[in-house]
A and B are shown apart, each in its own frame.
Chain A
């Protein structure tokens, strides 16, 4: 049973606009949430994380928002750049284990 879900397999955005990637989860025991970016033929690379006690974390163009009551988190990329085109995975951590979503393929159109 998928505890972390990314319901949008793909997203296209114009360069310079905002990209919003969404993720839903079912387990209220998750301690941390993370976003990873993956290019073809490479391993995922860590982007940004957020503790379950916070509702927002920013790092440059990337901001993650956590809504615990809705069990929802989102990644905002502003402004989007062509180099951001990749597959984005959200993940959650609890009890020494990680649970990943199925990924959203982001295409930033120049």
Chain B
């Protein structure tokens, strides 16, 4: 089954404790992306990757890092999380025309 998986689905952490949210897709897609969803703000793109070793900033990259060492994986790294990064995070992937993105189920993060 074609899918995008994210782990963990729920995470509670404390300010400053480094964390990684994993994202994996099994569709051999080139384009992968991370979004955060906040009330009243919709989805905002954090980082995207056009292919292996090619990443770029989206609209709200501050406080986040990504890497793309393999085509299928695109982890999101928060080196020093802060409470304003409490949000719902989605990973997405697409191929060909990057507009038909497939989204993962989301990761709900709470930073205390």
Contact = CB atoms under 8 A, between A and B. Distances in A.
Contacts of A100: 35, 42-45
Interface string A79-95: 00000000001010100
A43 B97 contact: no
Interface stretch (B14-22, B66-74, B77-85, B98-106): B98-106
B62 interface: no
A93 B43 contact: no
A97 B58 contact: yes
A49 B99 contact: yes
B42 A43 contact: no
Contact of B103 (A6, A32, A45, A102): A45
A62 interface: no
A96 interface: yes
Interface of B: 4, 31, 33, 35, 40-45, 48, 50, 56, 58-59, 90, 92, 97-106
Interface of A: 2, 4, 6, 32, 34, 36, 41-46, 49, 89, 91, 93, 96-103
